[in-house]
Structures are given as C-alpha cells and as structure tokens.
Chain A
Amino acid sequence: MWTFEAPGYLVLLLLLPLLVGLRHLWRARGGRISLPLGLWKGAKLTSFQPVLAFFNALSHLTFWLAWGAVVLALAGPIITHQKKLYLNDGSDIMIVLDESPSMAARDFPPQSRFDAAKAVITRFVHGRQNDEIGLVLFGSEALLSVPLTTDYQTFLHEGLDRAQVMGLGDGTALGMGIAVAALHLEKAPGKNKMIVVLTDGDNNAGEIQPGTAAELAHSLGIRLYLVGIGTPDTVPLEVRDPRTGLTYSGTLEGGFHENFLRSLAIPPWGQYFSASSPGSLDSIFQSIDSRETSSRKIQIQVVNDQLYAYFVLGALAMLLFSFFVRKLVLKEIM
C-alpha cells in the first residue's frame, strides 16, 4: 500500500503550476531577447520546426516532472506491507509415506494409491500455517526425506515431488518409517507432535516391528494417525523399478491389511482412518486438519519500504536529460 511519511510536503506540488506559469506564461519574466517579431497590427513572423519544437517540449516536460519527483521524494513515499508473526509454536507434523510397490495399485482410477496420497498431502500442506512439517519415506528401509520445516515450498518440491514408488526398494518397512519419524519428532521443540502415516498396511521389512514403533511414539507423547489407503478388491498394478528400469505389471489381490493397521492405533494417542476413495482420503485429512488446528497468537507487523531513493534518482536522471537536450540537441544559448 502506498502512503507518504510526510504528506505535508505534497502542498509544494501546488507550487509547481505557479512556477510553470511564471516560467512559461509570465510575459515580463525576462531571460528572453527582445526582438521585433512582426508588424504592429500586421503580419507576424511564424516558423515551425517540428523536431526541435518536440525536443524543446520534451526538455520542459522532463524538467517539471523532475521537480514533481523531488517533491514526492520529500514527502517520503513508502510502501507498507503486513507481516504475520506467530507468537506460539505450531504443531510438528511428520508425514510418513509408503513407497512400496503395492502403492502403485490403481484403486482410485486413473490415479494410483501413491498419486492420490501425494495429491492429498499437497492440499493438506497448503492448508497449514506455522506448522513444521517433515517427510519420511519408506520402502524396504526408511529415511527422512525432509526434516521438520515451515518452508513448505521446499517440502513440496524437494521432498514430495521426488518421492516415487519403489524409490527405496520393494519392501514395506512400516515400523522403520514410524520409528524414524518418532525419533526425529522427539527432539523437536514443539509441544504438539504427530505422525501421519499413509500406507496400504503391510510390514515385511525392517528391524523394528510397527507395534514397537507405535508404542515408542506413544511413549514420546506423539499422536499417531494411520491412514489406510486402498480397497480390498482386486486392482490392476503397474510399477516401474527406478533402479533397473523394468516395468512390472499385474493385479493385486486384497493387498490391504486394515485390521493390522487398526491394531496399531492405540487410543487416545492413535487413530485409524480408512480411505477407500479419493474423497474419503480428503475428508480424513480435513478431520486431522481440524483436530490439529491449535489456537494461534498472531502479531501483525507493518513493514515500511522507503522509496524516496528511486524518486531522487529519477529526478536527477530527468534533470540531466533535460539539461543535455537543451544544451546539446537544442544548443540553447542562454
């Protein structure tokens, strides 16, 4: 938003038309050579030089614009914008995403489980403010892809967009994923911590059992939301191994272990959701979203950017331009 720090100086702008009038309309101004330019009550000398007259008008225009800019600079033009300052910490949310081959099953045609999960996470992240969000990926092993951060752009572009099915082998180390997330959340300074796990519910790899990992999370005071993606039906599957470049295709029969996941969610710290359609996945995240919205204290800081330097530089440039046009192009004598 544009404002002026000292708008009182803008009154000087009213002086400009007066000066323009004195300079261009006042007949007794002086600075002009007295020479008869016609006959008394008779013919008048006229001569029109379009190019030179144009440059003359241009030099006058820039001259007066420059002084206008000087007055504006004097009035201290500032552009103000508001900056939100969060006074309390937000939640720390670690999203754990399954990269096992079964996630490529097309339960949500034309999307696979994995693509649907990514799309929902993206929407979820856009809806958060001031929460630190991290990303843990797991296949046959688990790793922290994005540490807890409020830089959501980095989270989306560097973390989530790069995740792909079978990026971490063809296993499903669910316990490892939960454990990695819990360990990273342990040291986080926030008070409200949670893990959101998106998986199709299997554990066939890794050193830590999911149950152990869930208990670990509970003992650290971390809430655990488990989201089971997929349908119990037989679904087509096509997956390309990023390491070998080979494409596997086939059908998946009941690759979804809902009861197992439900057992991991131990109230009151844990909760299980089942997502058998893209819409239900969205509503699950909405409910997590509403549950985790903590009361925020926001302070709005008004930041002023000083702009007078541009006006002063502009005025200087215009004055110099006007001067050089008058002296070099028009060869003004006086």
Chain B
Amino acid sequence: MEVQDFYSKVRQLRLSATRLVEGLYSGNYRSVFRGPGLEFDEVREYDPHDDARFIDWNVSSRLGSPFTKKFREERELSLQILVDVSPSLDSGASLLNKREVVNILFANLVFAAVASEDRVGAVFFSDKIEHWVRPRKGKTHALSLVHDCLALRSQGKGSDLALALRSAQEAMTRRGIVVILSDFKTTGFWKNLSLLSRRHDVIAIRVFDAVDSEFPEGGMVELVDPETGRSVQAYGQSLKFRKDYHDFWALHRLYWKRECLLRGVHILEVSTEDDPGAKLLQYFTKRERKK
C-alpha cells in the first residue's frame, strides 16, 4: 500500500466515524455504556461534614479514630477492541471484503471512543496475539491505532479467540467495554467469554458475507480453506450441496447467537453489503433507547 493511499484511507475512515461520533454526542453518552459509577479510591480521616454511611469501620477500629472511604467517580471508560486478523476474513463476494468492513468498524469505534475522552486499546489476534496496544487516550493514539490496524499483516493461520479473550481479561483491571470484531468461525472460547462478560460490557460484532450463508448457484468449483488449506469440491448446481452448505452455517449462526445471549453478550451482525458506520450508529441508538 502506498503511503499516500494509506493516509487518504485513514482520513476516509475518520470521516466515516464522524456520524457515529456526533450521533453518540447528541444523546447522553453515559447512557449508552454503563460506566462503573463510583469507585473506591482511598480512606481518609472522617470530617463531620462527611456522610456517616461511608465510614470504614475496619480501618477506624484498627487506627482508633474514624476514617471515611473516599470515592472517585470513574469518568472515563476503557474500551478494548479485539480484532480478528485471521485469513478467514479475507474472503467475500461483495465490494468490500470482511477485512475491510472490520477495519471500518474498528476505526469508527476508535474515533468515537477518543472523541468521548475514553481510553481505547486493541488486541489483534489470529492463532496468536499478533499485536497488542494498551488503552490510552488522545487523537494521536487513535490515529496510530488505525494505522496499526491497516498496516498489520497477519502471519497466523487460525483464530484463537479464547486466547484473545484471556489476554483482554488479564489486561483490563477495571471495568470496561470489550468489543469483539470477528467472523466467529472458531471454537473453544465460550468459557473465556463467560468469564469476561461477567465483569465487562461485551459486544460481539459478527462480520459476514453473503457467501457465508448461501452458496451461489452455478457449477463446480474447487474451494480451499484459507486457514487449514483443506480443499473441497463445491457443486453449485447441486441442490443438496447448497442445502448442506446453508444448513452448516445457519446452524453455526444460531448456536453463536444463542450462546452469546445466554452469557449476556450483546450481539451485532454486520454484512459486507451494509454500511458499517450506519449499522453501528443504529445499534447504539437502539441500545440507548432501551435503557
């Protein structure tokens, strides 16, 4: 990718994020994501003006004089974005492939978070953690994140979501928001998702393509799995093949949806034919209205 192209691409992504940013500002931002509210900060000596409810009795009895708990209001949220960079996202029959849709969603979220003075970090994963960025604030950080996302060339063959979830869990000491950008064509992550969703606000964004649910009618073609290299003869003219194909992915999608909802994970499905920015805004508006 040429450097010139690269910056124009970043600018485009930034522009596409403005709608989301403004949309979120127009409503009450805090109502979209529930912040942690008050958080215990330290104990200090009790002042008669203080609320007697917040006296820390343990400390008071230990030290002989009354101490009160001091709280700090958590003003800023921490947003952690888990980005799937496995080869399975490189396919797609539409104008944009899944990878590009993920990039747009990622940039939108990053710019929106930065505009709300929130800290944002990212974990790029395939079958290993390809890149990890600590949550920070600021526009420069946002640009560098988007740059990292666009410039990353994945070497892995596979998508170990469980590993990414575990890393996020270990890295996030405070309550925060976790957004997963993936096609979810992976297994073995449900336990980690349960653990993470217990503490954090998790949103699973599933990016898919038309070809991921229906095999196009036509003739024979040889398919190869980008991750395993397994080759399969596809017979587009065979009703049975198209049905098998549809059933396989429909079942997987149903299972994914049910398991996510069971764990209180919010889900959003974005097709490569959708406008990713509009889809995000619509999702956040709906969430706000629900509250």
Contacts and interface: CB of A to CB of B under 8 A. Distances in A.
A binds B: yes
Given A35-B91, A37-B232, A333 B226 contact: no
B218 A333 contact: yes
Interface stretch (A43-51, A114-122, A247-255, A267-275): A43-51
Nearest to A52: B235
Nearest to A30: B224
A22 interface: no
A32 B211 CA distance: 15
A331 B220 CA distance: 6
B219 interface: yes
A326 B241 CA distance: 17
Interface residues on B, range: 35 or more
A47 B218 contact: no
Contact of A39 (B127, B187, B240): B187
Interface residues of A, number: 28
A52 B158 CA distance: 31
A63 to B, nearest CB: 14
Contact of B223 (A32, A41, A49, A52): A32
Contact of B183 (A36, A37, A41, A43): A36
Nearest to A34: B226
Contacts of A53: 233
B88 interface: yes
Contacts of B238: 49, 52
Interface in A318-332: 326, 330-332
Interface in B120-179: 127, 158-160
A49 B245 CA distance: 13
Nearest to B249: A45
A35 B187 contact: no
Nearest to B161: A40
Given A37-B230, A37-B232, A49-B241, A332 B91 contact: no
Nearest to A330: B220
A27 B231 contact: yes
Contact of A331 (B188, B237, B252): B237
Interface of B: 86-88, 90-91, 127, 158-160, 183, 185-188, 211-212, 218-233, 235-238, 240-241, 244-245, 248-249, 252
